[in-house]
A and B are shown apart, each in its own frame.
Chain A
Amino acid sequence: MKNKNLQSEKSRRSFIKKTSTIASGLLAVPLSIEGMANVYGNKKLKLSLIGCGGRGSGATVQALTADENVELVAMADAFRDRIDMSLKGIQEHFDGSKKISVKEKNKFVGFDAYKKAIDLADVVILTTPPGFRPYHFEYAINANKHVFMEKPLATDPVGIRKVLEMAKIAKEKKLNVVVGLQRHYEKKYIDLNNKIVKGEIGKIRSGQVYWNDGGVWVNKRKPNQSELEYQMRNWYYFNWLCGDHILEQHIHNIDVANWFIGDYPVSAQGMGGRQVRNGIEHGEIFDHHFVEFTYASGAVVSSQCRHQNGCMNRVDEVFQGTKGSIEVGKGIITDLDGNLKYKYPYSLENEPNPYQVEHDKLFASIRNGGVISDTENGAKSTLTAILGRMATYSGKKLTMEDALNSNLKLVPEEMTWNSTPPTLPDKEGRYKIPIPGKTKF
């Protein structure tokens, strides 16, 4: 990605130095009383939603459902119409059973809208496209807010380093942070991971993780849209906003590999491209990636994600250990001869909704003075997927250190509607596509 729009930093060393100064500086400031997690008791919790898409609206409903005494006080989005649609959806969901009204003056529009909305809250929901997450998270933690934020946590390594730094500060401030890697809150996954911890399949030696399906929505370019507005509306197809589907979606499965193995990979190599989903409305991302992640133990996980119609669909995680195998989709453990050893007692009707559980736990923890710290794992799994993307884009073998120390920065610090987007189309409306063997990091 030798893209002139990509800004780079002097060095990782100076970055760390700089941020640690900021961090200690912050710690020297006495925490405001709202920042102390254990003082909430039964007091009303004010909630702000940053990023009013379908997922943000869903998360807001779950937050309002998790705790009786939560009030949605502010909403922020780049677009006013998204705020209106979101509020309508939330109101319709509760259908009068809960009074939802956000003051007109607390609806904030634009790139800096998040600051004003975060200022008004005790708890914030960060659900914009992931490119902005590091900046929003940084602001929220500096302002002593509890956070629910969706995965992934950044689209570039520079963003990840910011998130990792803020993770430490959040912990020190005893702020709760739940990350929307909801498999960690899903009964079946928790149960199967417990089996692995108990050694039921021995030590994991290999695995296969999948998100193969037909892909997601497209918002086509409309007349009179600025280039920046078009990219923001069709964000899935732009790396600075989305990070490619290996990150935005497949992170779920890669994260399960990290979780079940209990470590993060040391290196990755892979291949990918865009053969089928390569229209003018499909921006710059690939439609398939295949990555080998190697862990310190020597375990190797094959990760495949594909957005192509009419092919084998599978969203799943499978692992082979020294004593047996585990297939998460089917919820089964088999021994080395393929005999069934265990089956998770799945019941469609009785399975708790993990998206709701995330918020139940978050608000219970806030009330009880607990500290949930999902950020570090969320950031490291985000970085794992970014490493995979760097491997498929470059065609090179890269180490986690390479990714962690990379100066790749896709998202500018400050943006307005007059900013030039980080990537621009040619005369035909096509964007620069990464080329394995040529793209370098």
Chain B
Amino acid sequence: MYFNLITTIFFILFSYNVLGQKNYTEKIPGSKEILNFIFIKGGTFNMGSKKSEKGHFGDEGPIHEVKISPFWMSEIEIPWDIYNYFMSREIDNSQVKYTKGNEVNLEIDAVSSATTPYVEMSFGMGVENYPAICMTQHAAIKFCEWLSALTGKFYRLPTEAEWEYACRAGTNSSYSFGDNVEDLDQYGWFKSNSNESYNKVKQKSPNTWGLYDMHGNVSEWTLDQYIPTIYKTRKNLTIDPFEVPKKIYPKTVRGGSWMDNPSRLRSASRRPSSKKWKKRDPQIPKSKWWHTDAPFVGIRVVRPLNTPNVEQQKKYWNN
């Protein structure tokens, strides 16, 4: 009896933890849109790739051990359907009520708004269930701040390390499904199967942790400054690395896109952002919000299990 009670109490505590860390569905207030979040358990993994990996690039080495704290990640790339609300701001008055239980209590009016682009930014490739593209990292970060204000939960972009950890889903191979490029068609959109366009999210198989389109479709913004030699500086076990940006360019995008060859879609592949991504912006100053020449870049968001304090939160939305 006594033993049973202990077991029961233990079970209740344990379930509470487990329940608190389950996958969940975020309903976007004031709209019919939903976003599913997958819980990613914390752990350690080998970041980077071996020189012998086909397509390996110098910035992917050496392989080093990284420890990642738990978080949730959106199972899909953010589609236009949701991103458009960030642009139009027409659902802002559906913001969750302020409560002490919220991870975030933020004046939604204080979150700056993306300017409306003069050029049509989906380039006619489709908007319903298609991933939003061409946003700058600044816009992606502000989207996270807006989503946080709207829902009361703390959302941000993933760090490079979190992204790679989630992409690998416990594997050390070139792709989350192994090393065989032949299998890529089952998991992702890339140059030779994309029909020269991005595609609707969630059409291909997810990785074993349930995340869709980590390989391909659109590359995804991370928080980090792109430093090609950074792995060489990480000697021992590195915990939650985050290279805080000191300048606008370059920052890192991950995952490869519908325009890329397979090797760019590998779990370890890193790509720096560039000023050239605004080449054809006809305005000066060039838009803070749009990369006219990056129809291959999109967003996926994360929510850390341990919510940072208000001061830290701001850092993730203002770098």
* Most A-side CB within 10 Å, residue of B87, B122, B285: B285
Contact residues, A80-98 vs B (CB, 8 A):
86, 89-90, 92-93
Enumerate chain A residues within 8 angstroms of B283, measured Cβ to Cβ: 53-55, 57-58
* Residues of A with C-beta under 8 A to B119: 315
B-side contacts of A249, CB under 8 Å: 118
A316 to B124, CA, bound (A): 8
Q: Does B84 contact A (CB under 8 A)?
A: yes
Determine whether A60 belongs to the interface, using a CB cutoff of 8 Å to chain B: yes
Chain B 187-215 interface 0/1 with A at a Cβ cutoff of 8 Å (1 = within): 00000000010000000000000000000
A330 to B123, CA, bound (A): 10
Q: Is the CB of A55 within 8 A of B282?
A: yes
A348 lies within 8 A of B284 (CB):
no
Answer yes or no: A214 CB below 8 A from chain B CBs: yes
Task: List chain B positions with a Cβ less than 8 A from chain A.
Answer: 84, 87-88, 115-116, 118-120, 122-124, 127, 196, 259, 276, 279-286, 293, 295
A376 at the binding interface (Cβ < 8 Å): no
* A89 with B279: CB separation less than 8 A: no
A residues near B (Cβ < 8 Å) are 53-55, 57-61, 86, 89-90, 92-93, 182, 211-217, 249, 309-310, 312-316, 329-330, 348-349, 353-355
Complex alpha-carbon distance, A212 and B121, angstroms: 11
User: Is B280 within 8 A of A353, CB to CB?
Assistant: yes
Determine the chain A residues whose CB is within 8 A of the CB of B123 once the complex forms.
315, 329
B124 near A309 with CB under 8 A, answer: no
Q: Is the CB of B259 within 8 A of A348?
A: yes
Q: A309-B84, A353-B279 are in contact. Are A54 and B284 (CB under 8 A)?
A: yes
Q: Give the contacting residue for B120; candidates A61, A92, A313, A354; CB below 8 A.
A: A313
State whether A315 touches B84 (Cβ < 8 A): no
How distant is the Cα of A316 from the Cα of B276 in the complex, in angstroms? 24
Question: Which residues of the partner chain B approach A60 to less than 8 Å between Cβ atoms?
Answer: 284
Least CB distance from B83 to A in Å reads 11
CB-defined contacts of B293 to chain A, threshold 8 Å: 348
CB pair B124–A57 under 8 Å, yes or no, is no
Question: Are A216 and B124 touching (Cβ within 8 A)?
Answer: no
Q: Are B284 and A58 in contact (CB under 8 A)?
A: yes
B284 in contact with A214 (CB, 8 Å): no
Once bound together, how far apart are the Cα atoms of A217 and B282, in whole Å? 15
> Contact between A310 and B84 (Cβ–Cβ < 8 Å)?
yes
Q: Are B120 and A355 in contact, CB atoms less than 8 angstroms apart?
A: no
Beyond A217-B115, A310-B84, A353-B280, 5 extra complex contacts between A and B, CB < 8 Å? A182-B282, A315-B120, A315-B123, A348-B293, A348-B295
Q: How far is the CA of A348 from the CA of B119 in the complex (A)?
A: 16
B133 to chain A, nearest CB (A): 12
Distance of A205 Cα from B283 Cα, bound (Å): 36
Cβ–Cβ contact B120 & A213, under 8 A: yes
Which residues of the other chain, A, contact B285 by a CB distance below 8 angstroms? 54, 57, 89, 92-93
Contacting pair B116 A215 (CB below 8 A): yes
Nearest-neighbor residue (CB-CB) of B279 within chain A: A353
Which residues of A have CB within 8 Å of B122?
Answer: 313
Complex contacts, A211 vs chain B, CB 8 Å:
120
Q: Are A314 and B116 touching (Cβ within 8 A)?
A: no
Q: Which residues of A contact B127 (CB under 8 A)?
A: 312-313
Main secondary structure of the interface of A (DSSP, over half): mixed
Chain B residues closer than 8 Å to A349, beta-carbon distance: 276
Listed residue (B119, B123, B282) with the most chain A CB atoms within 10 angstroms of its CB: B282
B220 CB, nearest partner CB in chain A, Å: 18
A189 to B1, CA, bound (A): 83
A355: contacting residue among B118, B124, B280, CB under 8 A:
B280
CB < 8 Å neighbour of B124 from A54, A93, A214, A313: A313
**Which of chain A's residues has its CB closest to B292's CB?**
A353
Please judge, given known A-B contacts A211-B120, A315-B124, A329-B124, whether A61 and B115 are in contact too, CB under 8 Å.
no
Q: Which residues of B contact A92 (CB under 8 A)?
A: 285
Q: What is the bound-complex CA distance between A249 and B283, given in angstroms?
A: 15
Structural contact, A57 and B280, CB atoms closer than 8 A: no
Q: Contact at A330–B196, with CB atoms within 8 Å?
A: yes
Q: How far is the CB of A277 from chain B (nearest CB, A)?
A: 11
- A313 and B283 alpha carbons, distance in the complex (Å): 22
Name the residue among A58, A212, A215 with the largest chain B CB count within 10 angstroms: A58
Check A58–B282 contact: CB distance below 8 A. yes
What residues of chain A lie closer than 8 Å to B281, measured between beta carbons?
58
Find out whether the CB atom of A309 lies under 8 angstroms from the CB atom of B88: yes
Interfacial chain A residues near B115, Cβ < 8 Å: 217
| Known A54-B283, A216-B118; contact A314-B124, beta-carbon cutoff 8 A | yes
Chain A residues positioned under 8 Å from B116 (CB to CB): 214-217
Bound CA span A157–B221, Å: 48
Contact of A214 among B87, B279, B295 (CB under 8 A): B87
Q: What is the CB-to-nearest-CB distance from A254 to chain B, in angstroms, rounded to a whole number?
A: 16
Collect the chain A residues with CB atoms within 8 Å of residue B196's CB.
330
What are 14 A-B contacts with C-beta separation under 8 Å?
A57-B285, A90-B284, A212-B120, A213-B120, A215-B116, A216-B116, A309-B84, A313-B120, A313-B124, A315-B123, A348-B259, A348-B295, A349-B276, A353-B280
Min CB distance, B277 to chain A, in Å?
Answer: 10
Query: In the complex, which residue of chain A has the Cβ closest to the Cβ of B281?
Result: A58
Closest 9 CB pairs of A and B: A54-B283, A57-B284, A213-B120, A89-B285, A89-B284, A58-B284, A314-B124, A315-B120, A58-B282
Cβ of A87 to closest chain B Cβ, rounded Å? 10
Across the interface, which residues of B come within 8 angstroms of A86, CB to CB?
Answer: 284
Across-interface contacts of B295 in A (CB, < 8 A):
348
Closest to A348 in B: B293
Of A92, A212, A213, most B-chain CB atoms within 10 Å: A213
| Bound complex: CA A314 to CA B126 (Å) | 9
A213-B120, A214-B116, A310-B84 given as contacts; is B279 within 8 A of A93 (CB)?
A: no
Task: Report whether A61 and B87 are in contact in the complex, using a CB–CB cutoff of 8 Å.
Answer: no
Chain B, residue nearest A150 (CB): B282
User: Please, how many angstroms separate the alpha-carbon atoms of A312 and B123 in the complex?
Assistant: 11
In the complex, chain A residues whose CB is within 8 Å of the CB of B124: 313-316, 329
Q: Write the chain A residue with the least CB distance to B287.
A: A54
Instruction: Count chain B CB atoms within 10 A of each CB in A59, A92, A215, A348 and give the residue with the most.
Output: A348
**Nearest Cβ distance between residue A91 and chain B, in whole angstroms?**
10
The docked-state distance in angstroms from the alpha carbon of A374 to that of B43 is 64
Task: Tell me the minimal C-beta distance from A417 to chain B in angstroms.
Answer: 27
Give the shortest distance, in Å, between A251 (CB) and chain B (any CB): 13
- Cα A59 to Cα B285 with chains together (Å): 11
Closest to A56 in B: B284
Cα-based distance from A244 to B87 in the complex (angstroms):
22
Q: Which residues of B contact A310 (CB under 8 A)?
A: 84
List chain B residues, Cβ under 8 A from A57.
283-285
Q: Which residue of B lies closest to A57 (CB)?
A: B284
